[in-house]
Amino acid sequence: MSKSKNKKVKSGSERFYDDTNKPSYKDTYYNLVTRENLEGVKKIIKNQGYYDSTTINKIQYRDLNSLSHFFLIVDSPDYTYGHYAMLDGIYLNVNSIIPEWHGKFYLSIMIIRKPTNEKVKLFIAPVKDIEHELNHLHWLIEHINKSPDYIEKSMKYNVGSCEICDLDESIKFEVKKIFSMEVPTLILDFDMGQKDLFSYDRGTITKITVNDKDNFLQYKVGQYLAELNNRYIKKFPKHVELIKSNLEKEVNRQGKTLFGDNCMMLLMMSLVTYFSTLETKGVCYEVGEI
């Protein structure tokens, strides 16, 4: 009996959904994110329940640094974390525009938060912050293009959606995001002269300038990990020790190449140094409630 007779013949439907014929994520992104498709994408977002109508109407298109993207501008009275720009990822069915794409498509939309507090504007660098997010978007597109399963994993394992039974996989996924996408962007930030770090507490912004790249990376990555830890604890308050153990194990594994052995301890100690430096050498500015 020939081997060919043992093969299962695919139906027309199976051939149609064969992933070997699926376009790359990168090609699909640039074919989807165009000025001509803006209204169509807005309609998809509305039909799939993301954002309210007022917010959807604010979405615009532009191309900066040869990177096309959708963005929207909102007024923001809350500037506790100081992010002028950020990426919001949403999962859309886009085959009404790109018929060749099947399944959910991960679309990043840049949210630009205009501060309403005039004093806070002194500490915002809009051009640099947007540049940071564009660099982040670039790394994200490249990463998903190389690892298309990122979309499915993101839907299942992101900290906001995961179940406690998937905690281990979720932590692996979130830590990988930090080391594979945030770290390269932070390195670019530093190399482009973005060396100021800020902290807000009870109406006061404190600024320090970090001129050592290793310290800069340790402070920032340590902050990301502390925020990630807090998000998991908030979601699963009965599993604090399990979260701590799994997070430490995964950070030590993924961060070893960049930061060496006992990576988690190094990064947490860097935060102690960071807050000590803020207290002893930071320059303070009274800005009131933000």
Mean pLDDT of the chain: 88
Polymer length of the chain: 290
- Per-residue confidence (pLDDT) for residue 118, from 0 to 100: 77
User: Does the pLDDT of residue 13 top 60, yes or no?
Assistant: no
- Per-residue confidence (pLDDT) for residue 23, from 0 to 100: 92
Nearest residue to 48 (alpha-carbon basis) of 17, 83, 91, 18: 91
- Per-residue confidence (pLDDT) for residue 259, from 0 to 100: 95
Per-residue confidence at 78, pLDDT binned at 50, 70, 90?
Answer: low
d(CA 216, CA 186): 9
**161 bridge partner residues:** none
- Per-residue confidence (pLDDT) for residue 205, from 0 to 100: 87
Task: Provide the percentage of residues in the chain whose pLDDT is more than 90.
Answer: 75
Give the residue-averaged pLDDT of 10-25: 57
User: Does the pLDDT of residue 263 top 90, yes or no?
Assistant: yes
d(CA 116, CA 132): 22
Q: Which residue has the tokens 């109407």?
A: 57
- Per-residue confidence (pLDDT) for residue 11, from 0 to 100: 37
What contacts 68, CB < 8 A, 6 or more positions away? 30, 33, 34, 61, 62
DSSP state, residue 31: H
d(CA 63, CA 163): 38
Global pTM reads 0.84
Give the H or E element holding residue 153: helix 150-157
DSSP state, residue 290: -
User: Does the pLDDT of residue 1 top 90, yes or no?
Assistant: no
d(CA 8, CA 15): 12
Give the H or E element holding residue 61: strand 60-64
Give the residue-averaged pLDDT of 117-143: 87
- Per-residue confidence (pLDDT) for residue 77, from 0 to 100: 61
Per-residue confidence at 8, pLDDT binned at 50, 70, 90?
Answer: very low
